[in-house]
Structure 1
Amino acid sequence: MRSARPDLPGHDIVLRDDRSALIDCAAYLDGVRVDTPSVAKAVALVRENTSATQAFVWVGLYEPDSAELESLSGVFGLHHLAVEDAINAHQRPKLERYDDMLFAVLKTVGYVQGETGGDCVETGEIMVFLGADFVVTVRHGDHCELARVRRRLEQNPDLLRMGPAAVVHAVADRVVDDYLSVSDEMQSELEDLEAIVFAESRSSDISRIYQLKRELIEMKRAVTPLAGPLRQLTTRRLVPTEMREYFRDVEDHLVRVREQVESSNELCNSVLQATLAQSNAIANQDMRKISSWVAILAVPTMIAGVYGMNFDFMPETKWTFGYPLIVGLMVTICALLYRGFRRNGWL
């Protein structure tokens, strides 16, 4: 089922049998899906139907290799630098223009259980190639599947009639919604940690606070850079005027997520500082207790050391009441020291 790489749009494209990167492909004519046996036939159908108000192809790929993506490059005229970025992944959120095509990178996030038992943020990428009559989405990572996005769009033909930009908006909206979901989960966990830190039991786990701080930083790296590309999309020629308000709405949601992440990060700093201060206070309290008992025990040790010296002329050694007097003196001094330390809160 595999064929050679095509050089012309009229050639067919067939991807791997064992693990095809092609998730879905369809042509959309005036907001209605039309299934085709191959990507090339979908492109031909779109370019033949010039009578359609809006016609485009949407190709969805998952972690393609270089041969598969380069075969699509021959059909859609994708720029080789954008193709290289889409293959390698691990890109920063951005929006680039190559001739008459836009290339956008969106960072996806998921909140999953880590190897150490706590939840952690996992990131992936969605690369979007946007042209006048096509949109190609390339997903890396296990998060933010686009099948539901495609089904929801297909149930809204009026939105699909706005062209490929509608697909980009739907993908960006789904990505930002996932940001909000993950941010809410992290904020809830942070509030639980805050309650534990200030509980009477003081059973706070400082390692988990450090881990959550690390995840918030990772989340911030995914959310913050996306604001620029979303803002730029509202000024691009490939984005219709009626779609720009949709992108501004997504940008508003992103601002909300960014503010929530920043406030959670600040709260995490406060919780971490409070935990460290609490740990230092507990350590100081333990040191005070140890120092108090050392001071109390030092009194009988000192007196016993003085009267344990082997001198012949020591006045109290020949006295009948010398021993009980010295023992009583040691007990009295120790009791006074104990009372003083208790009164000052050291014991």
Structure 2
Amino acid sequence: MHTRLYKNGVLEKEGFPIEDVSDYVGDPSNTVWFDLCSPTPADLGVIGEELGLHALAVEDVLSDHQRPKVDTYENHLFITVYGVHFDDGRLDPVEVNAFVTHNALVTVRESDHFDIDEVIRRWDSSAHLAEHGVGFLLHGLLDYVVDGQFELVQDLDAQAEAMEESVFEDEVHDSRELQRAMYVLRKDTARLRKITMPMREVVSTLLRRDQGIISDPVLAPYYQDVYDHVLRVTEWVESIREMLANVRETRLAQQGFRLNEIMKRVTSWAAIIAVPTMITGFYGQNVPYPGEGQSWGFWMSLVLVALTSVALYTAFKKRDWL
């Protein structure tokens, strides 16, 4: 069981049944956390009754594809964020909901693809802040979520820069592979943008003093640090989108340029072939013409074909059409 009990900032119990939570939350000196992974509506209903959670907040947990947000209710906050996860090489965000009361934090994960054990390790690494109660627990959760998004945006930026450089490499000829990689990267960036842009509002709402979650001045710099990382992530995502748009436009311009080059070559060879065809066709008429029935007429046609072909080839080559 993912459960923990802190008393006066000291970890006293963990792994106890969730049914015992109601026995601990009544003591103001206790701070309780427990985690639910893919719970049933019945499980959420029981937790909602024990902690007095609002029915709309419980309903939002059961609804898929919620926007990252903070909802304020009379006796608790409801927070929705997304952890990053890859499935078959593509970004598949994992929804994580949190109920925050005065001395309890309830995390509800969409699936076990969100590593809650890493969040626990972060709590243990900064155990000296546990005396600040539920604000300490919530910071560890948000810090892990934002750090995961930050690491992902760094990786996407590196992929975008590599793709930008590969566009101008002469040895890149597999346009289908490049287009597919560009499509996947643009789709991952768009998905990441949907879950990172609202995070600014989430963290800024928690930073407001009237929320009472981080009224302790000791925790304020930690939440401010999370907010700074959120801003960097959102700005970085926008820069990646602009970079990918530039790569796409450059790629289209290159394709247009190459098409023009091909058309010039085809047109040049067609002109070179057309002139000899015209000359030989002229000498194939069934009417009298100069040199008819004479050997010099044959040789004159060959000379005209050779001279015009060489002249056209030289002219097109000089203009870089061939």
Query: Would you call these one fold, judging by a TM-score over 0.5?
Result: yes
Greater helix share, 1 or 2?
Answer: 2
Per the alignment, do residues 320 and 40 of structure 1 end up closer, same or farther by CA in structure 2, a change over 3 Å counting?
Answer: closer
Cα distance in 2 for partners of 1:107, 1:174 equals 11
Contact 1:169 1:247 in 2 (8 A): yes
* Identity fraction in percent: 30
Residue 201 of structure 1 and its aligned partner are, at CA, apart by 1.7
- SS where residue 100 of structure 1 aligns? coil
Counterpart among 46, 55, 58 of residue 33 in structure 2? 58
Deviation at 1:155, TM superposition (A): 4.4
Instruction: Tell me the TM-score normalised to structure 1 length.
Output: 0.86
Could you tell me which residue of structure 1 aligns to residue 224 of structure 2? 248
Number of aligned residue pairs: 315
Secondary structure of residue in 2 paired with 1:315: coil
* TM-superposed deviation, 1:209: 1.4
Q: Are the aligned partners of 1:299 and 1:330 in contact in 2 as well (CA < 8 Å)?
A: yes
Alignment of 1:233-312 (within 5 A): 233-235=206-208, 236-242=211-217, 243-311=219-287
Q: Please give the alpha-carbon distance, in whole angstroms, between the structure 2 residues aligned to 1:279 and 1:286.
A: 10
Amino acid at match of 1:190: A
- Is 1:25 the counterpart of 2:3 in the alignment? yes
* 2:22 equivalent in structure 1: 43
Asked whether the 8 Å contact 1:206–1:275 carries over to 2, the reply is no
What's the secondary structure of 1:233's corresponding residue? helix
User: Equivalent residue for 2:183?
Assistant: 210
Cα distance in 2 for residues equivalent to 1:75 and 1:97: 19
Per-residue CA deviation, residues 34-58 of structure 1 (Å, 9 max, x unaligned), is: 13642232331342x45x3xx1210
SS at match of 1:275: helix
Asked whether 1:228 is paired with 2:201, we answer yes
Change (3 A) 1:36 1:297: closer
- Bigger Cα displacement from structure 2, 24-33 vs 124-133: 24-33
Candidates 103, 110, 115, aligned match of 2:78: 103
Quote the offset at 1:113 in angstroms: 5.9
Q: Could you give the per-residue CA deviations for residues 256-284 of structure 1, whole angstroms, max 9, x where no partner exists?
A: 11111111111111111111111111111
Distance (Å, rounded) in 2 between the aligned partners of 1:142 and 1:324: 86
1:176 equivalent in structure 2: 146
Give 1:77's aligned residue. Answer: 52
Instruction: Look up the equivalent residue of 1:24 and give its one-letter code.
Output: H
Cα RMSD after superposing both structures: 1.7
**Cα distance in 1, alignment partners of residues 185 and 140 from structure 2:** 30
Q: How does 1:2-17 map to 2 (within 5 A)?
A: none
Unaligned stretches of 5+ residues in structure 1 = 1-22
Cα pair distance change 1:97/1:113, threshold 3 Å? closer
Separation (CA, whole Å) in 1 of partners of 2:15 and 2:257: 70
Q: Which runs of 5+ in 2 are unaligned?
A: none
Matched, 1:130 2:100: yes
